[in-house]
Structures are given as structure tokens and as C-alpha cells.
Amino acid sequence: MNYEGLDKKYIWHPFTHLKYYPKNIVITKAKGIYLYTQDGRKIIDAIGSWWVNVHGHSHPYIAKKIQDQLKVMEHCIFSGFTHLPAIQLAQKLVYLVPVKNAKIFYSDNGSTSVEVAIKMALQYFYNIGEKQKTKIIAFKNAYHGDTFGGMSVAERNVFNLPFKKNLFQTYFIDVPHSKNIDKVKKRVTQLIEKNNVAAFIYEPIIQGAGGMNIYEAKYLDELLAICKKYQVITIADEVFTGFGKTGKLFASEYLKHKPDIICLSKGLTGGFLPLGVTAASNHIFKAFVSDDKTKTFYHGHSFTANPLMCSAAIANIELIEQTNYLQKINTIEQWHKQFVQQIISHPSIKSVRYKGIVLAIEIKTKEKTHYLNQVSEKIADYFLKRDILIRPLGNVMYVVPPTCIKQNEMKKIYDTMKDFLNEIK
Ligand SMILES: Cc1ncc(COP(=O)(O)O)c(C=O)c1O
């Protein structure tokens, strides 16, 4: 059967340059670190299928929990009704997430978890009578998803260019580091004092889609301290960084100041099913409890808290609890470290960074560092020919492998990286 042809005929794929990628590879099976193609290839999934898969594909423990749930109930409405998987998952999450006395709000994916967080923050001030507080601060180079709220608080770039005029105004600040921290602190303070700032949203420690930019917790902490002082709501978007990617279960654990709201998705279900969680601190929740019906949070999705998704997430957390999950990530980080020591002074490298399971190499090219940098396709093709899936962010080639990856599989990826760097020298 010509599935590739049928796919091309009927389907419009996401983030896909339709002219350069006329055909998509047909995958018929996924197991552990590998994707199996229709024509018999076995491809290493070095990015956990867009950063969602954390234990390996088709993990039997998670698969069984979903099957068990499926026999009992596939779905039911989540307004006026509730169910055990949603309750059990929430019970687990409130103990895990770095948000004080959190209340768990479910949605469907990373973008909706961010959308919910933004709306909660804005409506919080509306509900407490500070209706003028409608502005949001975000980092330059940020990515928070593809819905309009998520795009509005993200870097204005090729991802949202056609919608620029439809996005709401956001104040963008530089990502802080040792040299600019005083300047950034001053700007944040001025923005808050002179404008009606409701919230600050950030990807803690690593800006993912922005190029796997790693920055230091202590400088972010200084900005969060200012937000806390002025009661600006802090929103940690941990859609990417959550569930161990940085070496701790949540990147916010590196910080002294915890967020008022945290957004989770991707690794939440171990990469099995789509689920979003927005966990908000109780003081925010309380502003929505009122006799006045206009203070209700009128937000929800048809599949809110789908029981299958919740069961997958419970199984994922149980696996994390029962296995040496963070230790595995630590081991992978040590492998990254040793590899980086070998290649750090390679002439084709502009910069190299790693944290937890993330390793990113920014390649020196004539073009500047940019998502549309032409080297991107060359890297992807080079790796795919060697049966490794990576999706570079322009000239940034990176890996975020599922934690079940073995050392020899990681070595194959490192060797391919080295070969590629040597060939473009
Ligand atoms: C930090 C961050 N926020 C939000 C999103 C959007 O998540 P989703 O693709 O599930 O909508 C992403 C996706 O990569 C992300 O990295």
C-alpha cells in the first residue's frame, strides 16, 4: 500500500515545509528508543517525538494502565461530574508540583495549558477588582505554543509573523545573565511600576523552541523576587522542561522562588496521550470562588480530564516513582558532558550546551543563528540517512532522548554529530 502517497494526498502536517518535505515517512511500530518504518528501517527517536516521550515508546506499564481504564470508561463530561483517574492524578500532582497548595486545571496540550494560565492570571485581577492589570511580561526568544495567547507572549518571529497584528501587546525583556542582570532587573521594575502588569511568563532554565538556550537559575530568581514584591503573578511554562528534562523533576526546583502557576504537558503522560495541566496556587483559585457568577472561569474543552489521558499520566508518575528515573537522566547528562569535552573546540561549533537529557550544538554558519538557517535541512537529512531522527532548530542541532536510551545508542548519535561537524568544516 502506498501510504506515503495517500498521506500526501489527504493530510496537511504541522511545522512542515510542504515543498521541501513532499513525503512523510510511514511509521508502523514504535518501541523503546526506536521508530520502525514501513520499509523496514529502525530509526532512533533522539528527540522523544517532539519532547513528549520520556520512558521509551509503547512502554508496557503505561500501555496496560490505559487498556485497563479503557475497559471501564473512555470519557465523560468534566463539568458537574468527576472521576477517579482525574482525582488520583490531581492528588499526585499537588504533592509533586512546585506550586503552593495547588489546584489542578486540566486541558488538552501544552498550548492550552499556557492559554489557561494566561486567562487565569488576567481574570484573577479582574475578579479582585484590579481590572486595569492586563499586561504581561515575557522573555525575548520565548516560545509558549501556537494558540493566540501563547503566540502573543512569545518572540515575534517566523512562527507567528502572519498574525503579528492580531497578537496582544506583551513587554519583552532580555534573558538574564551575569553581564545584563542589573539592566534587566531595572527594566522589569520600571515596567511593573509604570504599567499595569498582571503576570510574568517564562520557560525556566531552558528556552526550548527558541534554540535550547540554557540560562542560570540565580538570575531568573532575582527577576522572580521583583515580581513577588509587586504581586505580579509568575507563570512557569514547564511544558518542555517538566518531568525531568533538566535533571530535576521540574526546572522550577532549581529556583528559590516558586511560580504561582505552572503549565505542564508533553512528558506528563510519558508521551502516550495529549494532556495539559495548569496548576494554580490556592490564592489565585480563591479569587474565582464567589456569589457573583461573572467571576466564574468560563474555560473548558470537550475532552477536559479525559480518563485515558489521566490514567496514562498516573502510570507515568508511578514509573518515575518506582524507577531510578532522575538517576538515568543524570547518567545521560554525564555522557553529554564527556562528549562536550571532546568536541568543545571544534571549528564548526559556535557554542555547545547541555543540561539533564538536553544537548545542543549551535553550528557556525555564514548565516546567522536562526530557525530558517539553511543548514537545518542538511543536518536532519544527514542524521536520517543514518537512521537517527533529530529536528534541528535552524543551526542548533540538539537531542532530548527518552531515558531508556543505552550508551551505545547515544554513542551512535555523538559519532554522527562529530562526523557531521567534520564534514561541514
Ligand atoms: C515551553 C513550551 N510551551 C508550550 C508548548 C506548546 O505545547 P503543545 O505543542 O503541546 O501545544 C511547547 C511546545 O513545544 C513548549 O515548548
**291 CA to centre of ligand 1 in angstroms:** 35
User: What single letter denotes the amino acid at residue 348?
Assistant: S
Which of 106, 107, 114, 273 is the pocket-test mutation for ligand 1 (most atoms within 8 Å of CB)? 114
Running DSSP on this structure, what letter comes out for residue 265? Answer: -
Question: For residue 220, how many other CB atoms are within 10 A of its CB?
Answer: 27
Q: Do residue 50 and residue 66 come from a single domain?
A: no
Q: Where residue 381 sits, what CATH number does that domain have?
A: 3.90.1150.10
Domain boundary among 282, 306, 322: 322
Domain boundary among 307, 322, 337: 322
Q: Do residue 260 and residue 205 come from a single domain?
A: yes
Question: For residue 200, how many other CB atoms are within 10 A of its CB?
Answer: 28
Which residue has the least CA distance to atom 12 on ligand 1? 145
**144 CA to centre of ligand 1 in angstroms:** 6
Q: Do residue 150 and residue 231 come from a single domain?
A: yes
With vertex at residue 147, the alpha carbon angle to CA 227 and CA 53, rounded to the nearest 5 degrees, is 90
**145 CA to centre of ligand 1 in angstroms:** 5
Q: Do residue 281 and residue 132 come from a single domain?
A: yes
Structural domain including 162 reads 62-322
Which residue has the least CA distance to atom 16 on ligand 1? 240
Q: Do residue 266 and residue 413 come from a single domain?
A: no
**Cα 25 to Cα 3: distance, rounded to the nearest angstrom:** 9
Q: Residue 45 to residues 18, 24, 34, 332, 387: CA-CA distances in angstroms?
A: 22, 15, 6, 15, 9
Q: Do residue 358 and residue 222 come from a single domain?
A: no
Q: Do residue 17 and residue 87 come from a single domain?
A: no
Per-residue pLDDT of the chain (425 residues; tens, 9 = 90+): 799 999 999 999 999 988 877 689 999 999 999 999 999 999 999 999 999 999 999 999 999 999 999 999 999 999 999 999 999 999 999 999 999 999 999 999 999 999 999 999 999 999 999 999 999 999 999 999 999 999 999 999 999 999 999 999 999 999 999 999 999 999 999 999 999 999 999 999 999 999 999 999 999 999 999 999 999 999 999 999 999 999 999 999 999 999 999 999 999 999 999 999 999 999 999 999 999 999 999 999 999 999 999 999 999 999 999 999 999 999 999 999 999 999 999 999 999 999 999 999 999 999 988 899 999 999 999 999 999 999 999 999 999 999 999 999 999 999 999 999 999 87
Q: Do residue 331 and residue 301 come from a single domain?
A: no
DSSP SS3 for 328:
helix
Q: How many domains does the chain have?
A: 2
**153 CA to centre of ligand 1 in angstroms:** 13
Q: Do residue 167 and residue 285 come from a single domain?
A: yes
Domain boundary among 271, 291, 322: 322
Q: Do residue 54 and residue 98 come from a single domain?
A: no
